[in-house]
Amino acid sequence: MVRVTLEKIRHVYPGNVEAVKDVNITFDITLNSLLGPSGCGKTTLMKIIAGLLNPTEGRVYFDNEDVTSLSPQARNIAMVFQFPIVYDMSVYDNIAFPLMVRKVPTQEIRKKVLEVAGLFGLKNVLTMNAYKLDLSAKQRVAICRALVRNPNVFILDEPFTNIDPESRLALRAKLKEIQRGFNQTMIFVTHDQSEALTLSNMIAIMKDGRILQYATPEEIYENPENTFVAYFIGMPAMNLLSCSLEKGMLKLGELSFDVSNIRNILEPHGSEFIFGIRAEHIELSKVPLSSDEIPMKCVLVENLGPIKVLYLEGNGISLKVKTKVDDIVEGNTVYIKILKNKIRIFKKTGERLV
Ligand SMILES: Nc1ncnc2c1ncn2[C@@H]1O[C@H](COP(=O)(O)OP(=O)(O)O)[C@@H](O)[C@H]1O
Ligand SMILES: [Mg+2]
């Protein structure tokens, strides 16, 4: 296992498609997710790490070694793709294949194959032709084939996209367990935030050919570095509202917040900002509990089981609030309190300041 460093990576496809713009990142030896919308350059970046694609510019390092000019074989990367790739042979031979090619002794191959096949519930189908398996089982075979050879880096590019939701959950849990056991550098590519949030120890968020943030799921959730990340992560997205700074007071619709303690951080950036607060960082009650609570009108209730998302309007603003209070209906007036230490403030251009 190695740490993978990408330095000033840029990739332009024929036809002048700039798929990767300027990527600088070091993926830790852990379960990493690469999360971003479709078309943002994730697969391109993974192919560059694997050596399947030469970057137009920039260097790739495994630990301190520059591997930019090494072949995929020399890099010893295992890659699993969206569509499972299996060969017309037994499940056993499918999994054993990379070891046979490397002329590993038969006994050792057998031990390894049984070990990984056991992890993925494939022991009873080892003699079956892999073509006969369903999609989920085929993908498990592909994952086993990748795992069996202890690669330097294990890349999974949207591997569960075509797999039914139930198997997907089981496979996620399995992957997590395996990463812990093998201490692998894994990069799990996905466009699904909940998959990234439940699965990984570190998340890299990608947009338009750039990595916007690389941090733990908690950090990304609490302290998104910009409004894209704030909006992309979380259900619902973070509330983001235009606001302005006037003499140490932040004006938000008809509301004012005293932010004189952070005035010196904000003032050099002008007077117009974006105010961010997560839906669960707003306390809500049906009756005013203190004088500083803000009355708002509930215009819509989204029912997520025990949790509700209320769409509130009033005081010149709209907010979504997550609550367990379950007897509020559309048209009710409710009282809210925004948790001050959870307020995030972004520049108009998107970067977070507070
Ligand atoms: N072989 C190619 N030739 C030209 N453009 C490509 C090629 N492969 C991908 N692209 C373009 O590069 C961009 C990034 O693609 P990709 O890396 O596949 O994104 P993702 O995996 O995040 O969906 C897209 O605009 C895509 O259309
Ligand atoms: Mg892709």
Secondary structure letter of residue 92 according to DSSP = H
Q: How far is the CA of 19 from the centre of ligand 1 (A)?
A: 6
Co-location of 52 and 112 in the same domain: yes
Which of ligand 1's atoms lies nearest the C-alpha of 20? 14
Render the burial of 186-212: b for 16+ CB within 10 Å, e for the rest: bbbbbbebebbbebbebbbbbbebebb
Query: Of 113, 112, 111, 167, nearest to 139 (Cα)?
Result: 167
Q: What is the pTM of this model?
A: 0.92
Co-location of 19 and 150 in the same domain: yes
222, 257, 292: which is the final residue of a domain?
222
Give the helix ranges, DSSP H, for the chain: 42-50, 72-75, 91-101, 106-119, 135-147, 165-182, 193-199, 217-222, 227-232, 263-266
Relative to the alpha carbon of 16, which ligand is closest?
A: 1
Find tokens 């299996």 and name the residue: 86
Co-location of 128 and 217 in the same domain: yes
Q: How confident is the model at residue 177 (pLDDT cuts 50, 70, 90)?
A: confident
Please state, in angstroms and rounded to a whole number, the distance separating the CA atoms of residues 282 and 236: 13
Q: Check pLDDT > 90 for residue 329.
A: yes
For the stretch 98-120, pLDDT in tens is 999 989 999 999 999 999 999 88
Give the domain range for residue 275.
Answer: 239-347
Please state, in angstroms and rounded to a whole number, the distance separating the CA atoms of residues 270 and 275: 14
Please state, in angstroms and rounded to a whole number, the distance separating the CA atoms of residues 193 and 203: 10
Q: Check pLDDT > 90 for residue 171.
A: no
Q: How confident is the model at residue 179 (pLDDT cuts 50, 70, 90)?
A: confident
Of all protein residues, whose CA lies closest to atom 3 belonging to ligand 1?
A: 13
Mean pLDDT, residues 250-254: 95
What local confidence, expressed as pLDDT, does residue 242 receive? 97
Q: How far is the CA of 205 from the centre of ligand 1 (A)?
A: 17
Q: Check pLDDT > 90 for residue 313.
A: yes
Residues whose beta carbon lies within 6 Å of some atom of ligand 1? 13, 15, 17, 19, 36, 38-44
Q: Check pLDDT > 90 for residue 183.
A: no
Co-location of 22 and 162 in the same domain: yes
Residues with Cβ–ion distance below 5 A, ligand 2? 42-43
Q: Phi and psi (nearest 5°) for 75?
A: -80, -20
For the stretch 21-47, pLDDT in tens is 999 999 999 999 999 999 999 999 999
Q: How far is the CA of 15 from the centre of ligand 1 (A)?
A: 12
Q: Which residue out of 9, 44, 49, 189 has the highest number of ligand 1 atoms within 8 Å of its CB and is therefore the one to mutate?
A: 44
Q: How far is the CA of 84 from the centre of ligand 1 (A)?
A: 20
Q: Is residue 227 part of a domain?
A: no
CB contact at 8 A, 226 and 346: yes
Co-location of 260 and 330 in the same domain: yes
Of all protein residues, whose CA lies closest to atom 2 belonging to ligand 1?
A: 13
Q: Which helix (H) or strand (E) holds 6?
A: strand 4-13
Of all protein residues, whose CA lies closest to atom 20 belonging to ligand 1?
A: 39
Q: How far is the CA of 221 from the centre of ligand 1 (A)?
A: 28
157, 187, 222: which is the final residue of a domain?
222
Which of ligand 1's atoms lies nearest the C-alpha of 41? 17
Q: Is residue 231 part of a domain?
A: no
Co-location of 204 and 254 in the same domain: no
Mean confidence (pLDDT) of the chain = 94
Relative to the alpha carbon of 161, which ligand is closest?
A: 2
190, 222, 254: which is the final residue of a domain?
222
Q: Per the structure, how many domains does the chain have?
A: 2
Which of ligand 1's atoms lies nearest the C-alpha of 189? 21
Mean pLDDT, residues 323-350: 95
Q: Is residue 229 part of a domain?
A: no
Output the domain CATH number for residue 53.
Answer: 3.40.50.300
